[in-house]
Every structure is written in C-alpha cells, then in structure tokens.
C-alpha cells in the first residue's frame, strides 16, 4: 500500500513535482462572465492574465465540487493506496469542505485531509514536507499528524501591486484595502491561520525585495537547509532578482519558483512577489 498526495489547483505545485511524485491535482474553476475554465487544465496562467488584462469585470472563482473529489479519491483507494490531501485554507475557499464531504461518501479510513490554513506557496510547502516524510517511510497517519502540527509554522508573505483584487473578491475589507490606495505604495500581505492581513507597505516595486530581507532579519528567521518558495505573477524579472538575493544571502536547502495559477491570480492580480516556507 502506497501513499498518494492529492492537492487542489491553488497549491500551484510545479509540473515537474506533480509528475515526479505522481501527485493528483483537482482543479478549481475561474469564470469570466458565462465562460468557466478549469484552473491549469482548460486555461494556462499566461492565457488567464491576458484575459484579465482585457476583462472589464473581474473574474470569479468556484471551489471544487464534492463529486470531483469522489472520483479522484475512489480511483486511488480502489488501486490500494492511501491518500493525503492538502487543500487551500477552509476560510479562503469551500474546497476543503468539498473534500471532507467526498471522504464521507467514499467511506474510507485511508483518506487523510489537511486544511492548510494557507494558499499557493503555503500549500506547496506542506506538499514538499509530505514528500520528505513519505521518503522517511512514515505512515499516512503519522504524516497527517506531523503536518497538522507543522502547518502552524507556515510563513507566507506577499508583496502585491494593489489590494483591489482581494477587496473586490471579498477576501479583505475595504478598510484594509485603503493601505494600497496611496499612489506608488505597494501593500504587503500575510496569509496565516486562514487569515489574510495587510501587514506593511512599501513604496515602489524595487523596495519589495529589500522588504523581504528586512522582514527575515527582524523576525530572526534562519533559512538554513529549508525549502523556500518564491512565487510571482507576471513579474519574472523581479523574481530573478529575488532568487539571486536568496541564493547569495541564505543557505537554503532548495528554492522552488513558480507563477501563481489562475485562481490565486484572480485574487492577487499581476505584479506579485511572494516568499513562503515552513519555519520549523
């Protein structure tokens, strides 16, 4: 009996990692008017941001329906493997609740579901931790228990170009969005324990990279031998600079880089830089 990892598309796990470790990805949907697309399946990130730039109305997103999880879980359980599912925070999407409903329908005790209380690179960090624990021959139950404890140590900070997308999508209040209304000011948000909070602001894009350095120093964070996740949205040049900075200054284990997918892109918009890791 093996262990299969199941994630939703908001985890933004790279194609290489999904293929290498046979990870099952179940997509959410992004909707432009009456047109609905499966995230990462029927629309690529590049196509999404092209559509976003031309769209007069902001797109919406839809959680994974329970039936899609029933299909995915049933196939894996019937093959004789156990499941560890890692999903977007339960207060950020109904996807985790859909997975719970599907588990009840499938009726197997060999399905372990984790509410990451995070999104995107936070989920990806838990996925990589799970992969390490599988390699250590931990049981599915042991991995579940470890991840439930360690998810409390997730750190995800994101420098946005604007808070407009989060505010329009109802993820933050209008009051929180005010921080980004001043010309030239770029808001910084934190995703932690199922909450999105505006925690700081920087003036100008170039200051964001320095902000990450300062934040790491101020919080006495040691990135030695840690997996670090550097994400962006339509911001490849700055991501290169950020990655070079991290490679020079910190003795990380691995640096994983990716662009946020369509669902996350709906809520954060273009121009994002993000850093995430498990601070354990």
> Each residue of 109-166: pLDDT tens digit?
999 999 999 999 999 999 999 999 999 999 999 999 999 999 999 999 999 987 666 6
CB 237 within 8 A of CB 205: no
Looking at the chain, the domain(s) classified CATH 3.30.1180.10 span 153-278
> Each residue of 187-211: pLDDT tens digit?
899 999 999 988 998 887 678 899 9
Looking at the chain, the domain(s) classified CATH 3.40.50.10440 span 3-28+62-152
60-62, strands of its sheet edge to edge = 35-38, 29-32, 60-62
Write down the CATH number for the domain with range 3-28+62-152: 3.40.50.10440
Q: State how far the Cα of 159 lies from the Cα of 140, in Å rounded to an integer.
A: 35
153-278 domain in CATH 3.30.1180.10?
yes
Q: What is the pTM of this model?
A: 0.93
């Amino acid at each position: 009996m093996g262990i299969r990892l199941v994630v939703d598309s908001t985890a933004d796990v790279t194609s290489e990692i999904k293929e290498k470790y046979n990870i099952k990805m179940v997509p959410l949907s992004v909707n432009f008017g009456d047109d609905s697309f499966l995230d990462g399946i029927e629309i690529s990130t590049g196509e999404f941001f092209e559509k976003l730039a031309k769209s007069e109305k902001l797109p919406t997103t839809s959680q994974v329906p329970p039936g899609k999880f029933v299909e995915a879980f049933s196939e894996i359980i019937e093959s004789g493997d156990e499941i560890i599912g890692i999903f977007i925070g339960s207060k950020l999407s109904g996807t985790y609740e859909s997975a719970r409903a599907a588990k009840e329908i499938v009726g197997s005790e060999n399905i372990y579901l984790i509410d990451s209380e995070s999104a995107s690179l936070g989920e990806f960090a838990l996925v990589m931790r799970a992969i390490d624990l599988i390699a250590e021959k931990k049981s599915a139950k042991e991995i579940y228990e470890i991840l439930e404890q360690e998810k409390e140590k997730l750190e995800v900070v994101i420098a946005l170009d604007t808070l407009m997308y989060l505010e329009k999508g109802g993820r933050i209040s209008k009051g929180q969005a005010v921080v980004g209304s001043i010309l030239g000011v770029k808001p910084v948000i934190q995703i932690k324990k199922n909450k999105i909070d505006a925690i700081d602001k920087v003036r100008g894009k170039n200051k964001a990279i320095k902000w990450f350095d300062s934040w790491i120093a101020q919080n006495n964070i040691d990135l030695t031998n840690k997996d670090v996740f550097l994400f962006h949205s339509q911001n490849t040049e700055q991501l290169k600079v950020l990655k070079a900075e991290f490679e020079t200054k910190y003795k990380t284990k691995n640096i994983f880089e990716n662009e946020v997918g369509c669902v996350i892109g709906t809520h954060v918009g273009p121009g994002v830089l993000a850093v995430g890791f498990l601070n354990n």
